[in-house]
Amino acid sequence: MKLTPAVERYVLHWGEMGTRWGTNRTVAQIQALLYLSPRPLRADEIVDLLSVARSNVSTSIRELQAYGLVKMTHVLGDRRDYFESLHDVWELFRVIIAQRKQRELNPTLSMLRKCAEDVEHEDQTDPVTKERIRNMLEFVETTSEWYEKIQSVPTSTLKKLMRLGAGITKFVK
């Protein structure tokens, strides 16, 4: 079995992008492959299609499952595990947003809160610096809340919202 050229390009590109998004190449490639595949795939098929080590596939799938991006399925009379990705792009979006919040925003929030508190007792810190820290904290807090609220917005609403784009601003005067 072999990938078609278009699918191969997609998978390779996704792999590269994955490295920018906090995971490694293989994890992202597998996700792309499963996303495009019309049927669930087995680990050994993935090994074949992507030419990666079995151990690598095993740990990568584990990571994808932990993210909630990939689920395991089975076939009657077949012991082997089959895997498939979420197929709805808006669902994918939500999951990825949640991941990013957890890995980037949350630690930054903690840091900023600690900083904001610490500088209260630091006389040698310039008031301007203190204000900058407060501003950044406020910004990250707002962003964080926004991420959270997005989680519970239904897909259909999300779609409409995104398509509105900057048009939405006419509601906030």
Chain residues binding a copy of itself by CB under 8 A are 4-7, 9-10, 13, 17, 20, 22, 35-38, 87, 89-90, 93, 103-104, 107-108, 111-112, 114-115, 118-119, 122, 124-129, 132-133, 135-136, 138-139, 142-143, 145-146, 149-150, 152-153, 157, 160-169, 171-172
- Nearer to DNA by C-beta: 65 or 155? 65
* SS3 (DSSP) at 173: coil
Provide, rounded to whole angstroms, the least separation between the CB of residue 55 and a copy of itself. Answer: 26
Q: What is the distance, to the nearest Å, from the Cα of residue 18 to the centroid of all Cα atoms in its chain?
A: 9
Q: Which does 27 bind (CB under 5 to 8 A by kind): DNA, a copy of itself, none?
A: DNA
Residues 50-89 that bind DNA (CB under 7 A): 51-56, 58-59, 61-62, 79-81
Cα 103 from Cα 144, distance rounded (Å): 12
HSE of 38, CA atoms in CB hemisphere, 13 A: 1
Q: What are phi and psi of 121, to 5 degrees?
A: -100, 5
Per-position b or e across 135-152, b if 16+ CB within 10 A of its CB: eebeebeeebeebeeeee
93: left (phi over 0), alpha (psi -120 to 50) or beta: alpha
Provide, rounded to whole angstroms, the least separation between the CB of residue 3 and DNA. Answer: 15
Counting contacts by CB under 7 A, is residue 99 touching DNA? no
Cβ-proximal residues to 32 (8 Å cutoff; 6+ apart), any chain: 10, 11, 14, 15
Provide, rounded to whole angstroms, the least separation between the CB of residue 87 and DNA. Answer: 21
What residues line the site for DNA (CB under 7 A)?
15, 23-27, 42-44, 51-56, 58-59, 61-62, 79-81
